[in-house]
Amino acid sequence: MTLIETVENPFKPKAARIVRHYDLIKDHRFFQIRHIDMAKAMSFSYNPGQFIMLSIPGVGECPFSISSTPSRPGILELGVRRVGKLTESLFQKRDNEVVYIRGPYGNGFKLDKMVDKDLIIVAGGLGVIPLRSILYYALDNRDQFKRVFFLYGARTPNEFLFKTEFFQLKNRKDIECLYTVDKSDAEWPHATGVVTKLFKNLPEIDPSETTAVVVGPPVMYKFVIDEFLKLKIPKNLIQLSLERRMKCGIGKCGHCAIEHLYTCMDGPVFTYWDTLHFRELI
Amino acid sequence: MQSKFLDVFLESLNKFGNLYGPTYKNKVLSYDRLANISDLVLTDEHPMIPIKKLFHPMKFTMLHFNEMGFTPDYSTIEKRVILGVHPCEIHSLLILDSVFMREPMDPYYAQLRQNSAIIGFSCLPTENSLCFSTDTDIVEEGFDLFFVNLGEYFLVWVGSSLGHDMIYEREEFFDKNVTHDDIQEYVEWRQKKNKMFKKSFEFDSMPDIMELSYESEIWEEFAKICLSCGQCSMVCPTCNCYSVTDVFDVTNEQIGRRDRNWDSCMYVDYSLVAGGHNFRASRGNRLKLWYGHKLKTFGKDYGRPGCVGCGRCVDSCPVDINVLTISEALTTKEVPEK
């Protein structure tokens, strides 16, 4: 057949090398990957909050949040929980082995609404993986934001991700980091209790000069959003990122539909105002 | 064009591609490759599986993989002329276009579409036709040629440059003069057709009714009887969901293929994510999603709801859940007795 072989096939993933990996906690691994094609690696641009589709041939393809910041180009970072067939196979991979990726997909956080304002980042559990992108983006472009607050809650000290990195951030004067675990142990140096308890430690907020982002398990959203609302942050300036099953990433396969929206194209970042119109969003 | 020329003309179209159309396969009317023009079945009945199967095949290989990576497989793409396509089917393709041709384009669907000519044919309403309600009984675009059967002759609409070329090939069959009598006959045919519909529903007000009925207990009533069999998705011309599966070649652990196959939001694992959270574990929520897409909204930028009124869900659902019973129940608040 005479075919348009030159047509860019958006489903064709490109080879990327695992350049480094280490375990964050049990069954949670950090991967740094880089497109084998160096030009592609350097030109791969994305927004905090976007995701990629990662393939292992013969096993399948799944969406993963990008955990690195576009302000540090070349290498993509992922935080992966061993939870299914594909991640099990990914955990068998060693450094220098090849995986296949395509993307970036989704809208990402609405940076234009966030600059020149205070930023409150609230992470619960694995939600910290996508939020690490906007966190470092804000720190790398520190002059674009006013005060930055980073609130992170995990279940136990052993489930606290990026411990070394985030504990070091505490030393910085230009960001306020508040950490908590639901159940602490003797060595845990920070707060104990659910993440919403950290809000009382925040200084006075001017709601007209503040934006907020939250990512966490579905059950957490309501409680955190209630706290934002108590601070009187406008509903359209509260952003959250949603998880859905996806097979394509580009608005074709239908799986991530929320009423008439596709999480992969219209999301995964939505404002709380958006979610008010959709009854099955969270 | 006089009816006696029809077969000769349609056969001559093989110059433009392989001929496809409704034909009987194991006694089931189905869109398929036509070995002979005599195999073509022009009838008011719809093929059981809609025309989407020719553009969004039930199962096909998207990519092959080996140690070197992934390579697209475009082997399903060929020049085709698809005959006997009813108006609702043409409308369904226009709706699927808005999904698959939206950037980034699906290269498989797009190339199948770009290499296929659509030769539409008029039809008269059958038992469960609802296209008058959904405003899809007439087509204005989406075809290369469209034949309206007026008995002795066909009124032929030309919808594209390719369609014009097709006519030009056999100019001798066509009479360019449209007389007052012809127009009169066409008007009468439309009036006759419009009166033949046995069933109708309030398609235009359904988006509002759906919006207001989100919490309605009616959904639970339907959820109790739904079998989650997914038949509605298979027969619906605008259901486009699919799943993707990797398959190794039998003898090899390096080489294999990535297949696409139809999926349905009626299946329980449709919205299941890793870790076990299911965003739509309840059947009622899955029904709401399905009917939301058909009767309320279909994609942020896709315009009209997805239902094209073909009536296949009315024909097919083993427990009588369909656009008619749903819209009736939401309007009257009573689940119709079987």
The order of strands in the sheet holding A14-25 is A60-65, A51-56, A98-105, A14-25, A28-35, A76-81
Reference A101, options A7, A36, A49, A43; nearest CA is A36
pLDDT confidence bin for A282, thresholds 50/70/90: low
CA distance A143 to chain B (A): 35
Q: Is A61 on the interface with B (CB under 8 A)?
A: yes
For A57-175, where are the E strands, in sequence order?
60-65, 76-81, 98-105, 118-124, 148-154
Number of Cβ within 10 Å of residue B26's Cβ equals 5
Domain tally, chain B: 2
Whether residue B143 contacts residue B157, with contact meaning beta carbons closer than 8 Å, is answered with yes
Q: Which pLDDT band, with edges at 50, 70 and 90, does A1 fall under?
A: very low
More confident: B337 or B114: B114
pLDDT of residue B53: 96
Question: Which residue of chain B has the CA closest to A265?
Answer: B300
**Count of CB contacts below 8 A, A vs B?**
133
ipTM score of complex: 0.88
Angle, helices B218-225 vs B283-295, to 10°: value is: 110
Round to whole Å and give the CA distance between B78 and A47.
39
Among chain B residues, the shortest Cα distance to A59 is held by B246
Whether A239 and A212 have beta carbons less than 8 Å apart is answered as: yes
Chain A CA closest to residue B71:
A12
- The rounded mean pLDDT for chain A is 93
- Pairing status of strand A238-241 against strand A210-215: parallel
Which residues numbered 197-216 in B keep a CB inside 8 Å of some CB on A?
214
Q: Residue A10 above 60 pLDDT?
A: yes
- What pLDDT score was predicted for residue A127? 95
> What was the pLDDT predicted at B299?
60
Last-in-domain residue among B195, B226, B243: B195
Do B226 and B169 reside in the same domain of the chain? no
**Residue to substitute from A87, A255, A261, interface B, most B β-carbons within 10 A:** A255
**Residues B40, B152 share a domain:** yes
Rounded Cα gap, residues A248 and A52, in angstroms: 10
Query: Stretch B275-293: mean pLDDT, rounded?
Result: 83
B32 within domain boundaries: yes
| Of B100, B248, B272, Cβ closest to residue A252 | B100
At residue A6, the pLDDT reads 60
pLDDT at residue B338 above 60?
no
Confidence band for B92, pLDDT divided at 50, 70 and 90: very high
pLDDT, one tens digit per residue, over B112-152 is: 999 999 999 999 999 999 999 999 999 999 999 999 999 99
Residues B168 and B175: their CA atoms lie apart, in Å, by 12
Q: Is residue B320 part of a domain?
A: yes
CB contact under 8 A, B69 and A3: no
Q: Is residue B136 part of a domain?
A: yes
Find residues 214-243 of chain B whose CB sits inside 8 Å of chain A.
214, 240-243
A1–B274 C-beta distance less than 8 A:
no
Is B250 in CB contact (< 8 Å) with chain A? no
Verify whether the Cβ–Cβ distance A262 to B242 is below 8 Å. no
Measured distance CA(B283)–CA(B23) in Å, rounded: 36
A58 touches chain B (CB under 8 A): yes
Give B251's contacts in chain A (Cβ within 8 Å).
Answer: none
Separation of alpha carbons A122 and B4, rounded Å: 74
Indicate whether B115 belongs to any domain. yes
3-state DSSP assignment of residue A247: coil
Q: Is the pLDDT of residue A153 over 60?
A: yes
Contact between chains at B275 and A81 (C-beta distance less than 8 A)? yes
Task: Specify if B248 maps to a domain.
Answer: yes
Same domain? For B68 and B157 the reply is: yes
- Please answer yes or no on whether A60 and B272 come within 8 Å at the CB atom: no
Share of chain B above pLDDT 90, in %: 75
- What pLDDT, on the 0 to 100 scale, is given for residue B301? 63
Same domain, B122 and B87: yes
Confidence of residue B65 (pLDDT cuts 50, 70, 90): very high
The identity of residue B267, as a single letter, is Y
**CATH fold label, A111-236:** Rossmann fold (3.40.50)
pLDDT tens digits, one per residue of B43-61 = 999 999 999 999 999 999 9
pLDDT of residue B281: 76
> Does the residue B282 lie in any domain?
yes
A14-105: CATH topology: Elongation Factor Tu (Ef-tu); domain 3 (2.40.30)
Instruction: Identify the domain boundary among B164, B195, B226.
Output: B195
Q: Is the same domain home to B53 and B190?
A: yes
* Same domain (yes/no): B144, B256: no
Instruction: Name residue A181's beta-bridge partners.
Output: A154, A192
Lowest mean pLDDT among A30-34, A152-156, A235-239, A264-268: A264-268
B59 in a structural domain: yes
pLDDT of residue A189: 95
Distance between CA atoms of A281 and A259, rounded to whole angstroms?
A: 9
Chain A nearest-CA distance from B198, in A, is 31
In-domain check, residue B45: yes
pLDDT at B215: 87
What's the pLDDT tens digit per position in A174-186?
999 999 999 999 9
Name the residue range of residue B72's domain.
3-195
Residues of B in contact with A100 (CB under 8 A): 69-70
Find chain B residues with C-beta within 8 A of A242's C-beta: none
Please report the beta strands in chain B, taking only residues with DSSP state E, as ranges in sequence order: 18-25, 28-33, 59-66, 69-72, 80-85, 116-121, 145-149, 154-158, 242-248, 256-262
In chain A, % of residues over pLDDT 90: 82
Chain B touched by A83 (CB under 8 Å):
yes
Pick from B195, B214, B244: which residue ends a domain? B195
Residue B292 sits at φ, ψ, to 5 deg, of: -60, -45
pLDDT at A2 over 50: no
pLDDT tens for residues A22-66?
Answer: 999 999 999 999 999 999 999 999 999 999 999 999 999 999 999
A111-236: same fold as A14-105? no
Task: Say if residue B35's pLDDT is above 80.
Answer: yes
Mean pLDDT, chain B, integer = 92
> B46-63: buried (b, 16+ CB within 10 Å) or exposed (e) per residue?
bbbbbbbbbbbbeebbbb
Q: Are residues B185 and B304 in the same domain?
A: no
Query: In angstroms, rounded to a whole number, what is the distance separating the alpha carbons of residues A119 and A115?
Result: 9
Q: What are the extents of the domains in chain A?
A: 14-105, 111-236, 242-282
Q: Which of A83-87, A141-145, B192-196, B285-289 has the lowest mean pLDDT?
A: B285-289
Residue type, A88: E
Cis peptide before B22, with omega less than 30 degrees from 0?
A: no
Per-residue burial over A152-183, b if 16 or more Cβ lie within 10 Å, else e, is bbbeebebbbbeeebeebeeeeebbbbbbbbe
Same domain, B144 and B233: no
B319 shares a domain with B260: yes
Spell out the residues 6+ positions from residue B133 whose beta carbon is closer than 8 angstroms to its own.
B197, B200, B201, B202, B203, B309
Owner of token pair 């009166």:
B195
